[in-house]
């Protein structure tokens, strides 16, 4: 018996990195998971790993910024698994520049993926959740506690030079979380935020000389942090190191299990003790 047996979760950006670890963690404790990635191959790989371990999962491939994505994502959970209990808004990337060199395209792209996409997904989920709650109450059944976990960053709490777009988007996630916690409390839904510090992923581990890039809908974006800068950042962390994707997933898991059913509108910093 798992703590998340009979729960249905949707996790954006779960084909790789932190999102993949979140999907695996939730599935390992009993949740059926709708996995998402821009590309089909990593999404299907995560699905295959969950199924091979005895879990349940399906893929919903595509960009979270597509106009039809939110309805398709939520609809997949309902059609494949019969409901929706856990929403994790994790997908994202960075496109950095100092403010005087940042283009409108850079600003809009980062706000769209980190803030507008979660808003759309939550909007699409509301009729499903409200309908399930109404049906339970009319039948005289208990209303289970559902969970929303929005992913932010310490950049959204204290800002980060060269990331005006990312910092603004992640600060907005906190506001979205607090508003939805007040709106959805009547549905017995908790809404919380996890703000990640330095986590070792493909976006930080790649060489910072521009030799490694990621493709985001036709845009080749440089990834990687200078090793000397990475080491300096780690020295500021009380635990003395960056976190792992599995550790990041663990912090999200805390908000998904029954032990956190009376915790809402909070921001948990997963940063090894680092305080902005």
| Cα end-to-end distance, the chain, whole Å | 40
Radius of gyration of the chain (CA): 18
What is the full DSSP assignment across 135-170? HHHHTT---PPEEEEEEEEHHHHH--TTBHHHHHHH
- Told to judge if 166 belongs to the known catalytic residues of this protein, a careful annotator would answer yes
- Encode the chain (276 residues) as per-residue pLDDT tens digits: 899 999 999 999 999 999 999 999 999 999 999 999 999 999 999 999 999 999 999 999 999 999 999 999 999 999 999 999 999 999 999 999 999 999 999 999 999 999 999 999 999 999 999 999 999 999 999 999 999 999 999 999 999 999 999 999 999 999 999 999 999 999 999 999 999 999 998 777 656 565 566 778 777 776 666 677 778 889 999 999 999 999 999 999 999 999 999 999 999 999 999 987
Please calculate the CA angle 176-62-114 and round it to the nearest 5 degrees. Answer: 25
pLDDT (0 to 100) of residue 207: 61
Residue 101 contacts by C-beta under 8 Å, 6 or more apart in sequence? none
Taking every pair of Cα atoms in the chain, the longest distance, rounded to a whole number of angstroms, is 61
Instruction: Report the C-alpha gap between 21 and 112 in whole angstroms.
Output: 24
Contact of 223 with 206, CB cutoff 8 Å: yes
Instruction: Report yes or no on whether pTM surpasses 0.85.
Output: yes
Contact of 237 with 273, CB cutoff 8 Å: yes
Give me 236's structure tokens. 């500021």
The catalytically annotated residue of 93, 166, 187, 262 is 166
């Amino acid at each position: 018996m798992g703590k998340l047996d009979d729960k249905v979760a949707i996790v954006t950006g779960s084909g790789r990195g932190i999102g993949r670890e979140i999907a695996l963690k939730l599935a390992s404790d009993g949740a059926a998971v709708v996995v998402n990635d821009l590309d089909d191959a990593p999404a299907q790989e995560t699905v295959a790993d969950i199924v091979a371990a005895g879990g349940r999962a399906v893929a919903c491939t595509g960009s979270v910024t597509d106009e039809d994505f939110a309805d398709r994502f939520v609809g997949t959970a309902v059609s494949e698994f019969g409901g929706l209990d856990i929403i994790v808004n994790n997908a994202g990337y960075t496109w950095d520049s100092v403010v005087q060199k940042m283009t409108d395209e850079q600003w809009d792209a980062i706000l769209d993926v980190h803030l507008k996409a979660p808003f759309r997904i939550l909007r699409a989920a509301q009729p499903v959740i409200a309908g399930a709650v109404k049906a339970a109450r009319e039948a005289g059944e208990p209303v289970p506690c559902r969970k929303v976990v929005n992913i932010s960053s310490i950049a959204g709490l204290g800002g980060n030079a060269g990331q005006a777009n990312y910092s603004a988007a992640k600060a907005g996630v906190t506001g979205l979380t607090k508003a939805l916690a007040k709106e959805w409390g009547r549905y017995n839904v908790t809404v919380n935020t996890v703000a990640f510090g330095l986590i070792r992923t493909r976006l930080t581990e790649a060489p910072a000389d521009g030799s490694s890039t990621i493709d985001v809908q036709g845009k080749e974006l440089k990834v990687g942090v200078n090793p000397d800068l990475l080491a300096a950042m780690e020295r500021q962390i009380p635990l003395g190191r960056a976190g792992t994707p599995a550790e990041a997933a663990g912090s999200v898991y805390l908000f998904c299990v029954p032990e956190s059913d009376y915790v809402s509108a909070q921001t948990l910093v997963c940063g090894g003790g680092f305080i902005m």
